[in-house]
A and B are shown apart, each in its own frame.
Chain A
């Protein structure tokens, strides 16, 4: 049997846009920031992925079927310059090369 080398997860860039979404226990519509992270080998696995911006864990992380995109939401603004990371249990967190900045925020359309 030939070896299957690990397919390493890599993150490349991210986008921010302002959205109004019904989230939380009460499913009330709130203003939130959606983050869309692009990369490679963002696997749909058994463990839930954990995405953090600094110390803030994003809500509802969702991996798209292309396994190259993961989206999620934040309702509190993280600090400028915070690292954006994706983590699976047992693996070293992977970071987006760019740091977080609100200057990338696209207003609600």
Chain B
């Protein structure tokens, strides 16, 4: 991927026009609040693609296209009445990438539903301003903090109330998860991106399942989560300064470790522009940023190359071997037999119940090993042994924070072994594809998170020709094993072991192969 493809810096339009509007006050339903309904000032800032500098009204929308996709942003809770102006850097970037982009005002104290209601009010206003120049089949919404949960609620309201909007992408930035639980699942599923910082001083995750991790876990469309280990909460909004430093959840060392405001903005610009381009423009080149295969170049270079990002990614359509969702530990979700030679019976079930440091709202397995006992094997039942149509083995994994088996600050590694029906086996180290680092430790250690990341191992690693080693037959695969022998001891949490496609067109693969 070339430098021109960095979604942090790329631009299709030389100019972005901008204006603000104030359409007076309206009343919106505000369940859980007093008063209900609540008064809402209909203010917003808008950026749009333009053909010349200084454009300030919707009539100056660029003539390059007949219609443009639109992205609307909902901010989070703050004393500031200017919160909606804190994402201008993002809006301008989206506009220069071909999107009408607006950020709306919501009154201080507004809860999740009222923020979602506000969003729909502004869709009507923006529709009136831009008329038929908005491509309503390419609509994205982004929310920060309480707004990050509100955009999830918006999907539910849109479906339940038949509002008829075609949401093509939803992004939650450092979201709360406190009003539901709401889920982008089933009829509410919309391609989903979560961005969250490991040094968030406001949405801290003190309660189980109260952050973007749990929103991500419960969503079931194609989804990605970007966990920036040293990002905070308020530096994503230029109107908020460093207010989350004051709330008592960050030590002096934490505050000093937070990445720069510039790095926060690059994370937002790179990943959000990439996601909206991927989902609203069908720009599949952007996909690699969300699988974790690529990193936006300017994000990678920010703060002298010290920004650490962990990626989770999942899309529907795979063959799930085990989510550790049901039954006893020795049967996987496909019904295959699981065997283990470990010093403790593998844990199985709700991750937060297995590990109080887990921020996830998902089931998983807990595996601890030592030098003598270190094998875990999950068998595929007869009906599911042909995985030759898939391209990758994918799973989510983390070291367990606080485990006496995981040396503090040290990475872990292990082999992933596939065995076919004829007994041929091949093993691949996880470290070849992802770093299984020690969880990022906050100064207030009970806020540290056993945060999962996704590991994706190409199945070609098991089938390519190697001298003296026979390839695995993927149409008669017997088992997936974890050979925990690289490090003498360790403890990991794992889930979503599945075979997946790489999303690339098979014809393209063949052409590239030619």
Binding site for B on A (CB under 8 A): 1, 3-8, 21-23, 27, 41, 43-48, 59-60, 62-63, 65, 67, 73, 88-91
Contacts and interface: CB of A to CB of B under 8 A. Distances in A.
Which of B109, B202, B243 has most A Cβ within 10 Å? B109
Given A21-B34, A46-B203, A60-B32, A8 B248 contact: yes
Contacts of B419: none
A19 to B, nearest CB: 11
A88 B78 CA distance: 15
16 contacts: A6-B246, A41-B246, A43-B243, A43-B247, A44-B77, A44-B78, A44-B79, A44-B109, A46-B174, A46-B176, A59-B34, A65-B108, A73-B34, A89-B207, A90-B204, A91-B248
Interface in B1-56: 32-36
Nearest to A45: B202
Contacts of B249: 90-91
Which of A43, A73, A88 has most B Cβ within 10 Å? A43
B34 A46 contact: no
B277 interface: no
B467 interface: no
Contacts of B207: 89-90
Interface in B64-79: 76-79
B450 interface: no
Contact of B109 (A59, A62, A73, A91): A62
Contact of B202 (A41, A46, A62): A46
A89 B246 contact: no
A60 B33 contact: yes
B76 A3 contact: no
B97 interface: no
Interface in B248-293: 248-250, 252, 255-256
A88 B210 CA distance: 13
Interface string B135-167: 000000000011000000000000000000000
B242 interface: yes
Given A21-B34, A45-B202, A47-B178, A65 B79 contact: yes
A22 B219 CA distance: 36
B233 interface: yes
Nearest to B258: A1
B176 A47 contact: yes
Which of A48, A67, A73 has most B Cβ within 10 Å? A48
Given A60-B33, A62-B34, A46 B246 contact: no
A6 B248 contact: yes
B36 A27 contact: yes
A47 B203 contact: yes
A4 B109 contact: no
A89 B206 contact: yes
Given A45-B77, A60-B32, A4 B204 contact: no
Given A7-B246, A65-B79, 8 more contacts: A3-B256, A4-B242, A4-B245, A22-B35, A43-B79, A89-B204, A90-B204, A91-B247
A3 B258 CA distance: 12
Main secondary structure of the interface of A (DSSP, over half): loop
Nearest to A59: B34
Contacts of B256: 1, 3
Contacts of A47: 176, 178, 202-203, 210
Contacts of B202: 45-47
Interface string B171-184: 00010101000000
Nearest to A48: B178
B111 interface: yes
B99 interface: no
Which of B34, B76, B109 has most A Cβ within 10 Å? B34
A72 B311 CA distance: 41
Contacts of B193: none
Contacts of A22: 35
A89 B207 CA distance: 7
A101 B111 CA distance: 30
A46 B206 CA distance: 13
Contacts of B178: 47-48
B113 interface: no
Contact of A46 (B32, B77, B79, B242): B77
Nearest to B200: A46
B447 interface: yes
A100 B146 CA distance: 32
B268 to A, nearest CB: 17
Contacts of A88: 247
Interface string B225-254: 000000001000000001101111110100
Nearest to A49: B109
Contacts of B35: 22
Contacts of A65: 79, 108
A63 B109 contact: yes
Contact of B76 (A21, A27, A41, A46): A46
Nearest to A43: B247
A30 to B, nearest CB: 12
Contacts of B206: 89-91
A87 B256 CA distance: 27
A1 B241 CA distance: 14
A54 B111 CA distance: 25
Nearest to B260: A1
A3 B245 CA distance: 9
